Amino acid sequence: MGAAKSNIPLSYFDATEFILCIFMLKFDLMNELHYISTAPLKIATVYRILEQQSPLALSPEAIDAIEHSYAYLHDKLASAKKPIYGINTGFGSLCDTSISAKDLAQLQENIVVSHACGTGPTVPPDIVKIMLLLKIQSLSYGYSGVHLQTVQRLIDFYNHDLMPIVYQQGSLGASGDLAPLAHLSLPLLGKGYFHGPKGPLAAEIVLKNYDWTPITLAAKEGLALLNGTQFMGAYGVHALIKSYRLMYLSDMIAALSMEAFNCNNSALDAMIHLVRPHAGQIKTAERITAFIADSQMALEPNKKVQDPYSFRCVPQVHGATKDTISFVHNTFHTEINSVTDNPLVFGAADKIISGGNFHGQPLAFGLDFMAIAMAELGNISERRTYQLISGTRGLPAFLVQNPGLNSGLMILQYTAASIVSQNKQLATPASVDSIVSSNGQEDHVSMGANAATKCDQILNNVTTILAIELINASQAMSFRNNHATSDFLTSVLRAFREDVPLVDQDRIFSTDIQQAIDFLEHLNIDPDELF
């Protein structure tokens, strides 16, 4: 969390900024509403909601489900003769400790404040926004026993772009993402902080400015807010969306590198891939073939019979990543349309059942699998960069005139290699670990939260590695100026050159890398090409 300026208290909330927030809300509300309902929430739908900044609203069926669940729970509690976990008992290993009726509200507030033990870097606001969306979705199914006003207040936070400050460290990924979700929930009570343009904004002050009264949590509400997989889920959804972009970009940049390296495009022939019909492999070959469809360079004679694996096996390697991401996509699609708190309220069946839907094992495996697969995109990208600067295929060493006087792109490959090595370390699975907690009650945990944060780092690293390959491939293309590549790749090169100029002599290349990263992150890609 960035520190506030020394002359600005944490409670500071500028009136001008507040008015601006109201104005922006009115602007946002002009966008199409997304209604929270039982309709499956797709990853592509989440992407659309975020891109279009669609405000949220509860559908009539969601309102009805929430109200019925709340009413049933409180009717049941009034007549309960047996302890109900987390409602009239303590939590974790304190599950056998009974709580008196007069203390039930205090119990729920206590669990939120006591579990707010997060530390480390803050979760980026765009991921917090997904956390809010997923928590709202899960609570709306009517199996959590929460009050309607609690869910509505979370929607208010989302629609007003008020993102609670949440920390990356603290979750074991098993009893739900307890610490992160506690920080997400604190502002409901008028506690904790929101992200602000000048630093943290105290929730107490923000609520007063919106004329919102802090919520007094009823029985089970604190537990429902904290039990759940929305931290892992949000990171996973964010990672999936980013992965789809990176898979497209890796294919595009690989196509450019293949052109620059004067590759034999027979390795893209559909006949090869149809006799080993992995879906991702076929898609990669088809996409790259389309990228270079009208290239004159593809017709150039004197090509090598075979190219190095980092070029020749792009369909197989990139394709394997695509197939992995498809598997992970299915896991997260199921998860974000699930109820993951505990206990669960089944009013129609007249049951309140304790279970373990909060355990993040499916997500931990998925996040680790995604991390490995995406790291490999960076691995093979760096190998193509190495080949491009090697002084072969008619290209000068390090892709610069007067090598020796100029080091050219030599050290960019060092940087890529360093990041690839870090990714290999980060790709070590978190899900193989478990540490006993809660005095032995929670004796097996998923470590999915750690899997989530390191997967995010890997994806950021892959973006940098691809940016370095793009710098090298575009530079190599400048030495092929007698031959035209495809119209599509020509347009990419033209746009890239507006941000990153050709290298004619040595300069500070960290600037080029950052500009290339910005280019990739802001490149407009049709969503239909991604999902």
Query: What are the sequence ranges of the domains in the chain?
Result: 15-228, 235-339+375-530
Q: How many CA atoms lie within 13 A of 465 on its CB side?
A: 31
Cα-Cα-Cα-Cα dihedral of 341, 346, 351, 357, to 10°? -30
- For residue 321, the 8-state DSSP code is H
Tally of CB atoms within 10 A around 109: 18
User: What is residue 92's predicted lDDT score, i.e. its pLDDT?
Assistant: 60
Which tens digits make up the pLDDT trace of 355-364? 999 999 999 9
- Span 105-133, mean pLDDT? 95
DSSP strands (E only) in 150-303: 167-169, 193-196, 199-202
- Provide the pLDDT for residue 107: 84
In tens, the pLDDT along 361-396 reads 999 999 999 999 999 999 999 999 999 999 999 999
Residue type, 439: N
Signed CA dihedral, 497, 501, 503, 507: sign only: negative
Question: Can you read off the two tokens belonging to residue 411?
Answer: 């050290």
Q: How confident is the model at residue 487 (pLDDT cuts 50, 70, 90)?
A: very high
In this predicted model, which residue has the larger pLDDT, 1 or 441? 441
* Confidence (pLDDT) at 4: 35
Half-sphere exposure of 130 (CA within 13 A, CB side): 29
pLDDT score for 11:
39
Q: What pLDDT score does 294 carry?
A: 93
Q: What is the pTM of this model?
A: 0.91
- Provide mean pLDDT across the span 397-412: 93
**pLDDT of res. 299:** 80
* pLDDT at 28 exceeding the cut of 70: no
Residue 33 has pLDDT above 50, yes or no: yes
- At residue 402, φ and ψ (nearest 5 deg) are 60, 55
How sure is the predictor about 465, in pLDDT bands with cuts at 50, 70 and 90?
Answer: very high
pLDDT-above-90 percentage for the chain:
79
Which CATH class name applies to 235-339+375-530? mainly alpha
Q: Which CATH number fits domain 15-228: 3.90.800.10, 2.60.40.3140, 1.10.275.10, 3.40.630.40?
A: 1.10.275.10
Q: According to the model, what pLDDT value does residue 402 have?
A: 87
Is the pLDDT assigned to residue 9 strictly greater than 50? no
Nearest to 262 by CA among 387, 412, 417, 400: 387
Catalytic residues, by residue number, are 85
pLDDT tens for 233-258 read 999 999 999 999 999 999 999 999 99
